[in-house]
Structure 1
Amino acid sequence: MSKLTDVPKRILIGRALRSDKLGETLLPKRIALPVFASDPLSSVAYAPGEVLIVLSLAGVSAYHFSPWIAVAVVVLMFTVVASYRQNVRAYPSGGGDYEVATTNLGPKAGLTVASALLVDYVMTVAVSIASGVENLGSAVPFVVQHKVLCAVVMIVLLTLMNLRGMKESGKLFAIPTYIFVTGVFIMIIWGAYRGLVLGDTMRAPTAGLTVHTEQTGLAGFALIFLLLRAFSSGCAALTGVEAISNGVPAFRKPKSKNAATTLAMMGLLAVTMFCGIIVLAMTTDVKMAENPAVDLLRHGVAVGSGFTQDPVISQVAAAVFGEGTFFFVVLSAATALVLFLAANTAYNGFPLLGSILAQDRYLPRQLHTRGDRLAFSNGIVLLAGAAALLVVIYGSDSTRLIQLYIVGVFVSFTLSQIGMVRHWNRHLATEQDQSKRRHMIRSRAINAFGAFFTGLVLVVVLLTKFTHGAWVAVMGMAIFFLTMTAIRKHYDRVSEEIAAPDEPSDDSLRPSRVHSIVLVSKVHKPTLRALAYAKLMRSDHLEALSIGVDPAETKALKDDWEQRGINVPLKILDSPYREITRPIIEYVKGLRRESPRDVVSIYIPEYVVGHWYEHILHNQSALRLKGRLLFTPGVMVTSVPYQLESSELAKQRAKRRADWIAPGSVRRGPVSQRPKEHSGTAAPKGRNGGTGD
């Protein structure tokens, strides 16, 4: 059975890796860029469109504000990148914003940042996948008709690729990411050459349309609010910047330097592409609308529900290269693919952050465990499940999902930069070296400006997006915060409850006596082995216990016991209702009531079998019995295994698999170094309460 599950697992995610191979999974900068920066790089495919859609509410005349909005986004991007370069140098351990906020602002601030980032990572996957499906749907009608199904399938495929490991998935993602970046730069350069040198007139497919709006000529506060909302939509280009600060441990040495360099490369590429697409969109007269079927007009008539509004980048590519040309097809395919792969930023950031939070006891400890491929598998699966649920709820609609976006990331931006200011203040109070002080003062100024700017943007985002869906993200952050607080309280309570005393005494832990009980159904080899083992333990009192269900079998057991001269007293408990578990539980509880300081040790003979169906035929009552006994204080349960001949088959299968590592063996360690396991979960199977017949 194990082999049947192992084979498909190995096909899907590859062979398991030893723990000492972790260093081989570290990333060079050329792979780290597409792994950690695919989100901000790919966001240029939809962020310009979101800006134009918002501006279209005031009519086409408002489009001339788009270059200024682009400039504001560029300034913000450079500010955030410069600030995070200070972060990765000061905190290279991988805690990122969470570590910065916790260290400098306190645990509650750190938990707020962690909640914001976890929500944002889930949103990143949902928005990226939904946007990728919509881009692909412009060429493949089936995708549009079944976009929720296609989105969920893409999430599953991305999950499988990430379960194979960060380095391996990074290699898969690097090619389309670099093709996309190269294609966008070729489009910008060729568009500039055609417009400035050749003097060509480039027209987007929607250039001949007009935008209908009832809010034409907005002025004053209404116009300012609209521009702020357009700016907040354009800020989607900054999502994922913080992922590099969380992923510093995944870089090759020197880790901090490589992470800082990757940040700079990412910022430069992202702002260049974002500005280039905005300028080309203005040049080619792209039209976008929030409700294109109604608001886009052709010769004064609405285009109708049959019209498909292509993304800005697709329209610009059609104008620059020509629709259907080689470069247009390549860029369109790369855009759709890179939007899918943009979710990889979250697939790396969420599990890493989840591992750190689990180590700090804010999340279940299973999230801190690496899987067979040395990836944080549990975190990857949790992220995939949450994102798939969000995609299904919102119908894989990127316009609806993007309203929930970027709130969390700007919460983490702001608190992180405030924390960095306090970090530099603390170090400046003790640092005497003037050159180091000058460096710290410069870094503090960068982080202070970053805190002010990102805080201002956070206010803008909340004001302009809260009623449009951002409240869902805020509620998600609150749920994460309360859940993690409750988990930490539980772990703290358990730790306090089981903590060893300051001055441990053997007398305080040692029971007065040990009362041992061997469960018996009939006299056979498993019973005799359990009796021999129990005698070896030299308890204060030893007895055999059987449940009398059938008088004839009970009499046969007594006769056989006396005939063999077994020098262990045999006690028979009558069970008129043919129950096995309840009489044993009641008997044990009675012993505990008589002598509360005594320990009751129960030995259960257990068959070790080799076929899957034999597990059904033997040892089934063990789980019920053990489950009841676990809630009884002062009771110990020991399984005494007896290997049937069929167990040799399982042993042979294990030998055949010895050449390749079994699932979970990375966590358990080499076979030769594992402790010999002694206890199990067996229980009586036969009608007299033993292991079966």
Structure 2
Amino acid sequence: MPSVTDAVKRVLVGRPFRSERLSETLLRKRIALPVFASDALSSVAYAPDEVFLTLSIAGIAAYAFSPWIALAVVVVMLVVVASYRQNVHAYPSGGGDYEVATVNLGPNAGLTVGSALLVDYVLTVAVSISSGAQYAATAIPLLRGHEALFAVVLVVLLMTVNLRGIRESGTAFAVPTYIFMFSIIGMALWGFGRYLFGELPQAPSAGFELAAEHDISGGLTSLAGAFLILRAFSSGAAALTGVEAISNGVPAFRKPKSRNAATTLLLLGLISVTMLVSIITLANLTRVRFAEDPAVQLLRDGVPVGDSYVQDPIIGQLAATVFDHFTIAFYLVTAATGVILVLAANTAFNGFPVLASILARDGYLPKQLHTRGDRLAFSNGIIALAGAAIVLILAFDAQVTRLIQLYIVGVFVSFTMSQTGMIRHWTRLLRTEADPSARGRMKRSRVINSIGLGLTGLVLVIVLLTKFTQGAWIAILAMVVIFANMKLIRRHYTSVSRELAIAEDAGAKALPTGVRSVVLVSKLHKPTLRALAYARAARPTDLQAVTVAVDPEETAALQARWDALGLPIPLTVLDSPYREISRPVVEHVKALRARHPRDLVTVYVPEYVVGHWWETLLHNQSALRLRARLRYTPGVMVASVPWQLSSSEGMEERTDRSAPGLVRRGAFGPTPARPEASSPNAVTPPASGSGGSGGSGDGEHEGVR
């Protein structure tokens, strides 16, 4: 029978996929668009809010700059999309910006991009989910004050869906993503139609006056005013996040991969800028008022509205205005917006694990992130992303205004370095390319990437200047920490690989001159006899049984029983005046190694294999400590000899059906007796059984130590 854990996992994640089915998980363009573009598409739900919110600091006059800010964002978006269309054709392997920077600018540049993108993906989940939680709290008053907890639940839900595989998550999220796109575009068309016929009403907040939070000395044309406009632009540039995810996800597309990815990029850019411009234009036509501190800045007849006023997001106000006589459409727009804000995090759940897998493959992250799970998804990366996002959500209490200040720094770092790398890429190819038509294409591509470098570099400078003190320094610090850790991880893997490399003359040195075996004994029973038989079957050079004299009477009885059975192996008794078990054994083994330095010493430890967690507490504790001590002794191996108690029956079948990794970590069931390395100079397999072994395998000595 399957275990409860296995049954729950199969309900949540589904049945495992064979490796041959990887091609079946590849995406069509109509599914790839919501999978990889939901982040950029959903930015229209909060990017306009942040633009108007920032401009409101200077009062209503600053709203006049919102169309120009939208136009600037559109220009940058289209240039970046055009640039990344070059990327997916030149580097279709899925490395994206990391691969471009590594190949053309060097490993350190690649790591800079990798660390920036990892941070940005985590922030994508935190910002999107927090924004969705705030929308939900607007519609459901019971959630107010509990947005952070609700956001955590949403992250866990998204993680579970993504663990089912990229194709399943894409299919599940495609419908709400398309509903959001059509509802926003439909609202814009209906609103513009009503405006042309003179029937467009004013927004619910249009009757308020908007007081400036701070007086801008010299007006908006001054240095302070220009800085405010640049800050609003940097907030609106959040619309560009998610573009890089497609270049990282090219392997997930169906063939022809590069062409399908480039087409999806173009659709993403056109749809995203259309929705962004439409919302900002409609907000100005309906005279939406959106303040950073609505309780103080929004005035009714010259009096602040106070804390009782609830400021709805801009899309919510527009939906109420455009569909003032069509309630169903209003609820459709607001519900779709709230859902897409949650699903926007799905872009990160597809981009982060792939990037982490590539970094792990190159030795910069733990190797566990490179392996696929049951459903052919990078499960460890998905779980790591969810955990990091939850930490951020709880730390910032799911407040979008605070989180978004950390946002987009990383993505523009990757944009800028990617464009630089692509320019070098085309320049390198032009040196060897002789075909005139190919050279012409390369030169056009280099021009596109050069324009992209200029714009993304300028935006990066603006973002750093306007957001650094607002919280962007935290994101930059996180990038530095991740960069340093990846360098250390790579150094560790390189050092281990160098240490474990086989030398040319290793064959002669690998064989010891002899093998001296030590079988630990506490009492004479079946586990001890099995360990003795196993040790004799290995035909060692020398074999001895060892017991520790903790209790003189028990030791004498053991010696008498040993002699009575006529066992052909000498029993060595180690004195232990302080009733220790581990120390006398370790000292005896070390002395044996000192007398025979060219021989290998193998210590056989009988152990119980139990079936219940509480039995682990009653048995096998001493040998855990003993193995930990012997593990660091060069030239010493430890062989665990399991004896399966009746309570462990059926554990083998349950282990076979358990989650990946549990067997590897020794969480269940018995394993065959096999040597366990006791030194850093040898491979160390996990202990067999669930609880280790006692001082000599029977749990009799747990009361002593």
TM-score (norm 1): 0.94
One-letter amino acid of the structure 2 residue matched with residue 424 of structure 1 = W
The 5 A counterparts of 1:5-404 are 5-196=5-196, 198-213=197-212, 214-215=214-215, 217-322=219-324, 325-404=327-406
Question: 2:531 is matched with which residue?
Answer: 530
Q: In the aligned structure 2, how far is the partner of 1:373 from the partner of 1:485? A: 31
Q: In the aligned structure 2, how far is the partner of 1:184 from the partner of 1:460? A: 29
Question: 2:620 is matched with which residue?
Answer: 619
One-letter amino acid of the structure 1 residue matched with residue 260 of structure 2 = N
Q: In the aligned structure 2, how far is the partner of 1:588 from the partner of 1:248? A: 56
Question: 2:519 is matched with which residue?
Answer: 518
Q: In the aligned structure 1, how far is the partner of 2:17 from the partner of 2:269? A: 34
The secondary structure found in structure 2 opposite 1:404 is coil
Q: Is the 8 A contact 2:519 2:531 kept in 1?
A: yes
- Segment of structure 1 superposing worse, 160-169 or 601-610: 601-610
Question: 1:691 is matched with which residue?
Answer: 698
Q: What displacement does 1:677 show?
A: 7.0
Query: Percent identity among equivalent residues?
Result: 60
**Root-mean-square deviation (CA), in Å?**
2.2
**Which of these residues, 660, 664, 676, is aligned with residue 664 of structure 1?**
660
Q: In the aligned structure 1, how far is the partner of 2:312 from the partner of 2:402? A: 17
Q: In the aligned structure 2, how far is the partner of 1:309 from the partner of 1:438? A: 54
Shift of the 312–440 alpha-carbon distance from structure 1 to 2, 3 Å rule, reads same
The 5 A counterparts of 1:542-581 are 542-581=543-582
Q: What displacement does 1:248 show?
A: 1.0
Q: Is the 8 A contact 2:27 2:254 kept in 1?
A: yes
Question: 2:498 is matched with which residue?
Answer: 496
Q: Is the 8 A contact 2:606 2:693 kept in 1?
A: no
Q: What displacement does 1:253 show?
A: 1.6
One-letter amino acid of the structure 1 residue matched with residue 10 of structure 2 = R
**Structure 2 regions of 5+ residues with no counterpart?**
665-670, 676-686, 701-705
One-letter amino acid of the structure 2 residue matched with residue 40 of structure 1 = A
Q: Is the 8 A contact 1:228 1:460 kept in 2?
A: yes
Q: In the aligned structure 2, how far is the partner of 1:692 from the partner of 1:56? A: 72
Residues 276-327 of structure 1: CA deviation (Å, up to 9, x unaligned): 1111111100111111111111111111111111111111111111177000
One-letter amino acid of the structure 2 residue matched with residue 516 of structure 1 = S
Question: 1:437 is matched with which residue?
Answer: 439
Shift of the 183–322 alpha-carbon distance from structure 1 to 2, 3 Å rule, reads same
Q: In the aligned structure 2, how far is the partner of 1:643 from the partner of 1:690? A: 12
Q: Is the 8 A contact 2:183 2:333 kept in 1?
A: yes
Q: Is the 8 A contact 2:84 2:247 kept in 1?
A: yes
Residues 578-620 of structure 1: CA deviation (Å, up to 9, x unaligned): 2222211111112222333222101122333444444343333
Q: What displacement does 1:386 show?
A: 1.5
Q: In the aligned structure 1, how far is the partner of 2:189 from the partner of 2:391? A: 41
One-letter amino acid of the structure 1 residue matched with residue 26 of structure 2 = L
Residues 223-281 of structure 1: CA deviation (Å, up to 9, x unaligned): 32222111111101001110011111111222111111111111111000001111111
Q: In the aligned structure 2, how far is the partner of 1:665 from the partner of 1:458? A: 42
Q: In the aligned structure 1, how far is the partner of 2:11 from the partner of 2:391? A: 27
Q: In the aligned structure 2, how far is the partner of 1:335 from the partner of 1:54? A: 21
Q: In the aligned structure 2, how far is the partner of 1:263 from the partner of 1:468? A: 31
Shift of the 451–250 alpha-carbon distance from structure 1 to 2, 3 Å rule, reads same
Q: What displacement does 1:129 show?
A: 1.2
TM-score (norm 2): 0.92
The 5 A counterparts of 1:475-494 are 475-494=477-496
Q: Is the 8 A contact 1:604 1:684 kept in 2?
A: no
Q: In the aligned structure 2, how far is the partner of 1:301 from the partner of 1:295? A: 9
Q: In the aligned structure 1, how far is the partner of 2:694 from the partner of 2:175? A: 62
Q: What displacement does 1:345 show?
A: 0.9
One-letter amino acid of the structure 1 residue matched with residue 306 of structure 2 = G
Q: In the aligned structure 1, how far is the partner of 2:694 from the partner of 2:348? A: 53
**Structure 1 regions of 5+ residues with no counterpart?**
669-674
- Segment of structure 1 superposing worse, 144-153 or 39-48: 144-153
Q: Is the 8 A contact 2:673 2:688 kept in 1?
A: no
Residues 385-431 of structure 1: CA deviation (Å, up to 9, x unaligned): 22111112212111111111111100000000100010111111111
Residues 124-166 of structure 1: CA deviation (Å, up to 9, x unaligned): 1111111111112221112222112112221122122222222
Q: In the aligned structure 2, how far is the partner of 1:30 from the partner of 1:230? A: 33
Q: Is the 8 A contact 1:52 1:66 kept in 2?
A: yes
Q: What displacement does 1:526 show?
A: 2.3
Q: In the aligned structure 1, how far is the partner of 2:252 from the partner of 2:693? A: 51
One-letter amino acid of the structure 2 residue matched with residue 26 of structure 1 = L
